[in-house]
Amino acid sequence: MLEYRDFEEKTIKRTEIFKGKIIDVYLDDVALPMGGTAKRELVLHNGGVGIIPITKENKLVMVKQFRKPLEKVVLEIPAGKIDPGEGKEPIKTAVRELEEETGYHAETLTYVNEMYLSPGFSNEKLYIYAAADLEKVEHPLPQDEDEVLELYELTLAEAKQAILDGLICDAKTIFAVQYWELMQAKQGEDHT
């Protein structure tokens, strides 16, 4: 079994390429554990949250929006970037983003897990929460100014069809639908 030092790539030099609003880009020269060097392209990101909100009617609340990198309109679970100051408590981001994007407040917000989305080049991490006991907020937080969002509430069968149709096509949302299906399968087992 290999030790950490057999894997580690130490940075010799880091070159700043770009500092943006959402991402920072760096190019590292690293020393390889077996000798020699290599370049590593790095996209640093402050992380975000994704929320799996299930209504009392057992529907998944989703947002439709345009994604510039994909040049298309897609259906996703509510999600958003962690603001500076929320870093230690991503659940606060989850509460805020759920209300901003959907107008819902969740009485129950449960941590599901956390996942790096693209570990080959990025440190972007997403914290996933399941939201239940949803109540419409009377005067919800306003949506981001530069975002057009449309709300949908889908049954599990509709969400699975939307994956087949390509309207649901991103990792966190496909994970969320699968998570929901697994929870229902497990509940089914309990009842037998």
The catalytic residues are 145
Q: Which stretch binds a second copy (CB under 8 A): 51-59, 64-72, 89-97, 101-109?
A: 64-72
Which segment (84-92, 101-109, 133-141, 181-189) binds a second copy by CB under 8 A?
A: 181-189
Contacting a second copy within 86-105 (CB under 8 A): none
Classify 99 as helix, strand or coil. helix
- Please pick, from the candidates 31, 91, 109, 115, the single residue that binds a second copy as defined by CB under 8 A: 115
If binding is defined by CB under 8 A, does position 111 make contact with a second copy?
A: no
Q: Which listed residue (12, 44, 133, 155) binds a second copy by CB under 8 A?
A: 44
Q: Is 35 in the site for a second copy (CB under 8 A)?
A: no
Residues whose CB is less than 8 angstroms from the CB of residue 47 and which lie 6 or more positions away in sequence, other chains included: 81, 82, 87, 90, 124, 125, 126, 127
